[in-house]
Structure 1
Amino acid sequence: MTRATNYTNAAQQRLLQLIDLLAGHELQGLAPAEIAKALNVSASVVTRDLDNLRTAGWAEQTPQGRWRLAPHVIEISERYAAGVRASVQGLLDTTQRYGQSAGVRGMFAAP
């Protein structure tokens, strides 16, 4: 679902590609040269992008100088999951209230 607009920004899109690239390499991370090759950009661009991700808490450097996603990514996914659970519970509660008032029971029971 790609839609071209005047609002896209190459640097921001590259940061998102970098996040996707780092995902799955949490244990050993990736070397800057590996990142540059995978994204087809220069080492200086990778350095700048990684520094931006580190500043925002999205990436961290291993003791070996490799890069991986930081725990901040997990924190975001946990907040997302909590929001989804709360929304589902709210929908179930509302459905149950309306179902009871309409004489419908068990139609929308939670699994």
Structure 2
Amino acid sequence: MAGKYTNDAQQRLLKIVLAMFGDVVNGYLPSELQKTVGCSAGTMTRDLDNLDTAGLARQDAETGRWTLTPRLPQQTIKVWSAIDRAEQRVQEAKQRFTRNPD
């Protein structure tokens, strides 16, 4: 459901990034991404250039394929670390409540 502040170009960039997570090793040709998000070749060129400028994607000069840079995937480490810390706090709370009182 689109809100009044939803922007088609921003939504397309997000779709491209999410699609690129599908193959972080080989990457995608612009034409493959273009089909995935349903835009013109010129629009895809502009979008990929913006992702490159932001440091989120890069193009392999030899193959022409685009891959994500480590910048976004590395953020998953922060997510898992936060989940691990939260899980540890829950376990500590469970232990406090299951101890035999003195």
Superposition TM-score tier, normalisation by shorter sequence:
0.7 to 0.9
Task: Give the TM-score of the pair, scaled to structure 2.
Answer: 0.83
Could you tell me which runs of 5 or more consecutive residues in structure 1 were left unpaired when the two chains were aligned: 105-111
Can you list the C-alpha shifts for 1:47-78, whole angstroms capped at 9, x where unaligned? 12112222222211112221011111221111
Q: Offset of 1:89 from its aligned partner?
A: 0.6
Cα distance in 2 for residues equivalent to 1:59 and 1:77 = 16
Q: Percent identity?
A: 37
Larger radius of gyration: 1
Structure 1 distance, partners of 2:96, 2:7, is 46
Matched, 1:76 2:75: yes
Distance 2:25 2:85 in 1: 32
Supply the distance in 2 between the matched residues of 1:73 and 1:94 (Cα, whole angstroms). Answer: 33
Selected match of 1:20 from 18, 21, 29? 18
Partner of 1:5: 3
Give the distance between the partners of 2:74 and 2:37, measured in 1 at CA. Answer: 26
Q: What residue is the counterpart of 1:85 in the other structure?
A: 84
How far off is 1:30 after superposition? Answer: 1.2
Q: Structure 2: where are the runs of 5+ without partners?
A: none
- Within 5 Å, give how 1:1-111 maps onto structure 2: 3-63=1-61, 64-100=63-99, 103=100
Cα-Cα RMSD = 1.8
2:73 alignment partner, SS class: helix
Matched pairs, number: 100
- 1-side partners of 2:73 and 2:18: how far apart? 14
How many angstroms does 1:12 deviate by? 1.4
String of CA shifts for 1:2-35, please: whole Å, max 9, x gaps: x332122211111111012212222222111222
Runs of 4+ in 1 over 3 A off after TM superposition: none
